[in-house]
Structure 1
Amino acid sequence: MFLAYPGLVATLALTVLFTVLANERIQLPTASHVQALRSTEGMVSLASILFAIWAVALLPWPLHPAPLLPWVDHPIALWALIEASFLAPALLGVLTNSPFATRANLREVQMGVAGRCVVWIAIGSALWLPIDWSIASLPGRGLLWLAGLLALPAAIGYGPFGAERNLSPAGAEAGLDGPTSGLLQGARAVRGSALLLTLIVASLAWSPVPPWIVLMLTLAIFVVATLLIRQVSLVLPRLTLPGALHWCWWRAMPVALLGLILRVVI
């Protein structure tokens, strides 16, 4: 039951919202996409989507239908599922025969891992540290949220952290047919939305406000964060791999570590 709600419902609904607000292009499902699911790339895309849905179902949602089930709101379970969702498609890039796709995938993996290291500090601190919503905890929470938002475009491979298009317009999907490429792009949108949702829900977990307000805040923050990420993609140029790694390790990471120190000390 909890895989359908909040897992499937929240993931698919907010993925559609994310693609609309971020001006992303994904293909609507057709019969050719169903046939493409039989390919290796199609099965990996489906697995990536299912991992993301499972992770969203385990988030500490207000009014969760099964809050006492094992692994609900557990950081290790969330980390394993989200990382599986991101890294499973990366294996295709390593095994592909297209050098352009291999290069794009390796670039995406390196930036994604660097970005998600920062995001996981923000998520893990929200779920693992003692529950504290006092005024003194707000600076640390704010810095951790800011760090997660700074690193999120790199974590999901969006905007200036997206695939290089100068060598191949298809990027990581180089050499694939249209339906298969569409499945991989759809899976990318799903896991990106799931990671943003994980950051938001974890940051608001166990807040001392009514559950319905938390749900409204989750939706509002999701919309604002998506619009901010889109604005970043419009302002910043496409970053090189060293530039992207510098952004994650020397801009977002110090903010996350400072926020973590404040949360632990204060």
Structure 2
Amino acid sequence: MELEDRERSTQDRKIALLIDADNVPHGKIAEMLAELSKYGTANIRRAYGDWASAGLKNWKDKLHDFAIRPVQQFSYSTGKNATDMALVIDAMELLYTRKLEAFCIASSDADFTPLVMQLRANGHEVYGFGERKTPSPFVNACTAFLFLDTLGEPLVAAAPLAPAAKSKPKAKPNGNGATSPAPKPAGTILSQDTKLVTILRGAVEATAREDGWAHMAAAGLAARRQAPIDPRNYGVRNFTALFEATGLFQVVRNENGQSYVADKRNKERTSQPTR
């Protein structure tokens, strides 16, 4: 498929963006829509909340600027969140009455987990946006989930594949004249993330060729199929940088610009990817 055809295919994908305004900051709407444009067009845009409440007063301009339809939902009883119910009802109505390719649920509330699972069971992709406090069941249920604090922030690109040797970070003196230990490298932290490491190793094993090397694109896709992993949630730009940051994988790039990854535990891998 030509690039132009692929771009047209992406633009033709219809996405329903449903925002739980009680749990999403209004300042991230532009970044959310920009991210969704990679997957299709958010032609349905709705935000749910009690718009008479003081907590949503800053949302008004954003609704107008980005053509988001506000859905009013009063709190019928104290301690109950009627907004969630309204969003779920609309999502199910859209599922059966509109021809959509995907949904996007913007919230940090795990109560939407059953909704996401139902939408995916009906063959729809579901993208999620939320804060770091978002419970893991909701995050894991989505096709892809991106933490809001990563949107619009500078990220670390993949480092050169054959960097020159660098000196170790030195300890810095603290206010008492003593020295404070140097910070741990990011890779040390990522290598201790058992879930992430298991997924990345499984992705490499599933896509590795006989020489022990896997195409980076294939390994990244295999990782996404296991869980809604987005490298930006770990502070890096892409899967190449994520694999490298753990320190557990060997990554090389050939003269054609193609990247390959191998598990360092695999002693039977060749020194370089074979053609």
TM range (shorter): under 0.3
Give the number of the structure whose residues are more often strand, by fraction: 2
TM-score, length basis structure 1: 0.25
Q: In terms of Rg, which structure is larger?
A: 2
